[in-house]
Amino acid sequence: MSDTHMPPLHEFLTDPSRAERLDPALVSLVETIADACRAIANHVRYAAFEGQSGAAGGTNVQGEEQKKLDVIADDEFARICSDVPRLAALVSEERDEITWLKEPEEGDYLVYYDPLDGSSNIDVDLSVGTIFSICQMAEGDRAEVLKSGIHQVCAGYAIYGPSTILVLTTGTGVNGFSCDDRSGDFRLTHADLTIPPTTSEFAINVSRYRHWDDAVRVYVDECLAGETGPRNRAFNMRWTASMVADVHRILIRGGVFLYPSDADNRDKGGKLRLLYEANPMALIAEQAGGKASTGLTRILEEVPQSHHQRISVILGSSEEVTRLEEYHQRQG
């Protein structure tokens, strides 16, 4: 493919032939987030040389051990985004409080982000990423950040793997932009990403089997039964323990991702966070033709009660998500 078929991010976002006309302020915000992701990718890449490997020695507001790179990525993201004129607030997985940048006004933007998702993978040199979600403030919103996912105007992630890829939706389809390390440009390399409705691959942390609800157990048991089981075919399983990597694989070759609430995490609502992880990945999944559910309800319609709220997540190929919803309904 020649360069003419790989427009840089700015050209893609402002292309007059695209179905959607984006607010120039949103374009500038997305480009700034891309800058932040490029900077974080470099920190990840050079961590060993800069003494940035390992634990930071503290825990975040959710009681999880913070890696040095969690803290660095959070600071870098906030620093780079803090000068965007119409950005009212940053809501970070790593911060207890919301960071207000200005007096909020109608039309201003809110950014929710997980600066370094899958950070348990850093020290073993597996893929990690940054996840983000953007909402716009409506009339009379004032300091309201607890919006359900249907209000997202943009969602995306950057994966820091063998290459750095920014995957984005602004509400009409999903596209991926690889970072050319020689120029620093993000260029369209993965146009119109779609998740096929049918799959024979699932992703779940099977070590939690003993905690799962019957619906999830039955589903996985049936997949594992293979050709002679009720699904009449062999299923493959993958688990990276980095949601960005697991979702990225599903966007590239299909599959279903599960981090359900279970007997061990139900008191917290689940493991993954609604605003920083579930909502952006749910919008991406839906925009790619897939589905995203708690098992009983559509993730994007969940009304958040607090900004660090956790939730059950099942997303990916639509036939599998629908099947899992049926098993959950049957379970009651």
Where does this chain bind ligand AHM (CB under 6 A)? Answer: 64, 114, 117-120, 205, 241-243, 259
Residue ranges in 94-123 that form contacts with Mg ion under rule CB under 5 A: 114, 117
For residues 166 and 188, which CB has a smaller minimum distance to Mg ion in the complex? 166
Residue 74 in contact with Mg ion, rule: CB under 5 A: no
Which residue type sits at 153?
V
Other CB atoms within 10 Å distance of the CB of residue 239: 15
The answer to the question of whether 119 is labelled as a binding residue is yes
Which one of Mg ion, ligand AHM, none is in contact with 119 (Cβ closer than 5 to 8 A by kind)? ligand AHM
> 131 with 110: CB under 8 angstroms?
no
Strand ranges of the sheet holding 313-316, from the earlier edge strand across to the other edge: 236-237, 201-203, 256-259, 313-316, 291-293
Which one of Mg ion, ligand AHM, none is in contact with 175 (Cβ closer than 5 to 8 A by kind)? none
H or E stretch at 95: none
For residues 117 and 325, which CB has a smaller minimum distance to ligand AHM in the complex? 117
H or E stretch at 267: none
Which one of ligand AHM, Mg ion, none is in contact with 36 (Cβ closer than 5 to 8 A by kind)? none
What residues have CB less than 8 Å from 313, skipping those under 6 apart?
Answer: 257, 258, 259, 260, 270, 272, 277, 278, 281, 282, 292, 294, 299
Which one of Mg ion, ligand AHM, none is in contact with 55 (Cβ closer than 5 to 8 A by kind)? none
Residue 302 in contact with Mg ion, rule: CB under 5 A: no
The answer to the question of whether 291 is labelled as a binding residue is no
For residues 14 and 120, which CB has a smaller minimum distance to ligand AHM in the complex? 120
Residue 70 in contact with Mg ion, rule: CB under 5 A: no
Pairing, β 109-117 against β 128-136: antiparallel
Contact set with Mg ion (CB under 5 A): 114, 117
Binding residues for substrate: 117-120, 205, 271
